[in-house]
Amino acid sequence: MRDVYQEQLDQLAEVLATMCERVAAALEKATRSLLEVDLQLAEQVISEDVHVDEIRAIAEERAFALLALQAPVATDLRIVVSAIHGAGDVERMGDLALHVAQAARRRHPQPVLPDEVVPYFAEMGRVGVALALKAAEVIRTRDVAAAAQLEEDDDAMDDLHKHMFTVLMDRSWSHGVGPAVDITLLARFYERYADHAVAVARRIVYVVTGQMPGPLTV
C-alpha cells in the first residue's frame, strides 16, 4: 500500500511538472506570435489554454483525493498542499501567456511592438520559458539549490521589466500613447509570469525544508 501511495504522490508532482512544460510552450509560441506578427500562432495559444485548465483540474482532484483517503502528514502533506497552490500558480502562468497571444491577435495585422523594443521582449520570452522549464525540473527533483537559483534567474526578468519604463519615458519615444500602454501591459505580463514560476519553486523549498521562503507578491 505504501508503494501505491508513493506512486500517487509522484504522479501528482508529475502532473504539476507537465503543467509547467505546457505553459513554457505557450509562452514561447505567444512570444513568437508577438515578435513575428503571426496570427496562427496566437490563435493556437488561445485555443490550447483550455488544456492547462484541464490539467489543473486533474491535479486538484488527485490532491483532494489524497487528502481524503490517505490523510497525509509531514512532508507528504506539504507535497499535497503545495501541489494545490502550485497548480494555481502555473495556471496563472498559462493565463499570462494567453494575454500575450491575445495582444498579438488584437493588433493583427499591425505589429504590437516598435522595432526598438523587439529585442527586449525576445529576451523576456526566453527568460520566462527558461524559468518555467526550470520550475518543472525543480518539481521533479526537489532540488532546493536549483529552486534558489531560479529565484536569482528571475532578477533578469525584473531588470528587463524596469528597463521598459526607461525606454517609454525617454524623450525620443515617438510612437504615442497606444503602443506605450500595450508595452507596459505586456512587460507586466512577462514579469508576473516569472514571479509565478518563482512561487512554484518556493513551494518546493517548503516541501523539502518545511520552511516557506520570504513572501513574494504575484
pLDDT single digits (tens) 98-107: 999 999 999 9
Structure confidence at residue 174 (pLDDT): 93
Amino acid at 13: A
Q: What's domain 2-209's superfamily in CATH?
A: Phosphate transport system protein phou homolog 2; domain 2 (1.20.58.220)
Structure confidence at residue 213 (pLDDT): 66
Structure confidence at residue 211 (pLDDT): 83
* Of 204, 73, 59, residue with least CA distance to 141: 204
CB 6 within 8 A of CB 121: no
Beta carbons within 8 Å of 42's beta carbon, 6+ residues apart: 30, 33, 34, 101, 102, 104, 105, 108
Distance CA(208)–CA(144), nearest Å, equals: 7
Q: What is the pLDDT of the chain when averaged over all its residues?
A: 93
Cβ atoms < 10 Å from Cβ of 180: 16
Amino acid at 16: L
Structure confidence at residue 2 (pLDDT): 62
Distance CA(212)–CA(35), nearest Å, equals: 37
Q: Which of the residues in the chain have pLDDT under 70?
A: 1-2, 213-218
Structure confidence at residue 109 (pLDDT): 95
Which grid coordinates are listed for 75? Answer: 512532508
For 26, list phi and psi in degrees, rounded to 5: -65, -45
Sequence spans of domains, the chain: 2-209
Structure confidence at residue 194 (pLDDT): 98
Structure confidence at residue 175 (pLDDT): 93
What pTM value is reported for the model? 0.94
For the chain, how big is the Rg over CA atoms in Å? 19
Distance CA(140)–CA(131), nearest Å, equals: 14
